[in-house]
Structures are given as structure tokens and as C-alpha cells.
């Protein structure tokens, strides 16, 4: 599989959450695939498949289908499961606090003579975590929650754009902002130096995701 080009410009990342979609399990599955196709076609750079309740087999089936449908300009990332990301031909893995470590992921890739444009990212919630992830070899970090949001409440209160700006100054790898980001406050993340924004609802909920992407690009 030919992977998309490495990180360069401002990234828009759609983080999936099919459980928040209406209908039965099968209906949610079909609707999620449709949402992913629309977001990718609209110009979203990355799609992070974050469906933690699925078995390895189910997740692999989903990622294979997403990789098949997504345009070559869109990079597919798999949350947590490096094995699934590699088996399904995804463009990277996104590691959380309870995932394997970044160095372990690097080691596994090296053992299998893999790597290349395959990205390893990490979720971080502080400056220390961001600098540690960079030192460990992460290609990028997703930092948040920047603003208040129910989906990130378990990670504590909103961090704010001042901490985001400090992290962007202190690390050389791309910093993607997440958590409560809307069209109204996205410009604050850009001003703070973020290399991109990640969101669930902003890309999953609207009927016209093309307009959302265009408005974000206009920033």
C-alpha cells in the first residue's frame, strides 16, 4: 500500500465514535463508514479509528474497509492497536496512556523491517508528557482537552490555550489540539501554534462537513 505523504501542513483529524450514532449496531457501522467517506472526501487529512469496544477481528474488518474507501490523500490511524494498524494497511497508530509505549511500538516496527511513512502518535495531557513522547520517538502528539468537553472529562479540566502554546514552543514535533474545539474557538488553537486540530463531533455531526472543512482551512 502506498501511504500518504508525511506530516507537512495543518492537519484536520476526525476521531470516530460510532457509539454516539443512532440506530442498531449494523446501522451505526454503515453510518460511520458514510461519515468517514464524507470527511475524507471533504479534505480531512487524518481519520483516527477509535472504536475501543470492537474485537480485534471486528476492528480489523472496519479498518480494512476504511482503507479501501478512503482517498490516497487521507491517512488512516488506528487508536491503540498497532497489530490491527499493520494488518489492515493503515498509515499509523495512535497510542493512549494505556497503550504500549512509543519505544515498544518502534521496536516492533524495527523487528519487522517496517516503518517508512508509518506514523506513531501519542495522546498527552501535559507539557512533561509531550516532551517525554517526543524524546521517546513519537512523530506527533495530540494534546487536550484544550476546552471543556464531555468526551474528555475523564482526563480532567480544560487545559487552555496557554499550555497548548507552551507545548508548541517546547517540542519540535507537530502538536494536534483536541477537546471542545469548535469553529468559534479553533482560531485560538491556530494562534497558539497548533499543527492541527482533532475532533469527534465537529466532523461527525454536521450534515455538510465540506463547509466545516472549508471554514477551518480559511483560518
Residue 49 pLDDT > 50: yes
Residue 7 has pLDDT above 60, yes or no: no
Q: Is the pLDDT of residue 157 over 90?
A: no
Q: Is the pLDDT of residue 151 over 80?
A: no
Based on C-alpha coordinates, what's the Rg of the chain?
16
| 153 pLDDT tier (thresholds 50, 70, 90) | low
Q: What are phi and psi of 196, to 5 degrees?
A: 170, 175
Structure confidence at residue 1 (pLDDT): 46
Question: Given this model, what pLDDT does residue 154 score?
Answer: 63
| Mean per-residue pLDDT, 200-206 | 96
Pick the CATH number of 11-217 from 3.30.70.580, 1.10.10.10, 3.20.20.70, 3.40.190.170: 3.20.20.70
Average pLDDT over residues 86-98: 95
Lowest mean pLDDT among 21-25, 53-57, 61-65, 113-117: 113-117
Question: Can you tell me which residue has the cell 483536541?
Answer: 178
Every domain of the chain and the residues it spans: 11-217
Kindly report the number of other CB atoms within 10 A of residue 183's CB atom: 14
Question: Taking 50 as the threshold, does the pLDDT of residue 74 lie above it?
Answer: yes
Neighbouring C-alpha atoms within 13 Å toward the C-beta of 36: 29
Amino acid at each position: 500500500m502506498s501511504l500518504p505523504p508525511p506530516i507537512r501542513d495543518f492537519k484536520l483529524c476526525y476521531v470516530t465514535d460510532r457509539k454516539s450514532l443512532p440506530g442498531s449496531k449494523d446501522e451505526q457501522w454503515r453510518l460511520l463508514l458514510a461519515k468517514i467517506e464524507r470527511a475524507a472526501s471533504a479534505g480531512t487529512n487524518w481519520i483516527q479509528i477509535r472504536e475501543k469496544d470492537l474485537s480485534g477481528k471486528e476492528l480489523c474488518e472496519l479498518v480494512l474497509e476504511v482503507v479501501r474507501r478512503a482517498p490516497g490523500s487521507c491517512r488512516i490511524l488506528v487508536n491503540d492497536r498497532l497489530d490491527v494498524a499493520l494488518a489492515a494497511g493503515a498509515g499509523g497508530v495512535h497510542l493512549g496512556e494505556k497503550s504500549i509505549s512509543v519505544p515498544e511500538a518502534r521496536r516492533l516496527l524495527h523487528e519487522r523491517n517496517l516503518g517508512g511513512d508509518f506514523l506513531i502518535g501519542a495522546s498527552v495531557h501535559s507539557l512533561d508528557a509531550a516532551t517525554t513522547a517526543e524524546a521517546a520517538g513519537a512523530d506527533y502528539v495530540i494534546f487536550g482537552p484544550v476546552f471543556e468537553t464531555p468526551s474528555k472529562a475523564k482526563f480532567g479540566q480544560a487545559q487552555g490555550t496557554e499550555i497548548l502554546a507552551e507545548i508548541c514552543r517546547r517540542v519540535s514535533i507537530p502538536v494536534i489540539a483536541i477537546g471542545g474545539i469548535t469553529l468559534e474557538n479553533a482560531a485560538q488553537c491556530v494562534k497558539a501554534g497548533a499543527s492541527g486540530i482533532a475532533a469527534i463531533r465537529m466532523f461527525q455531526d454536521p450534515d455538510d462537513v465540506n463547509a466545516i472543512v472549508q471554514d477551518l482551512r480559511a483560518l
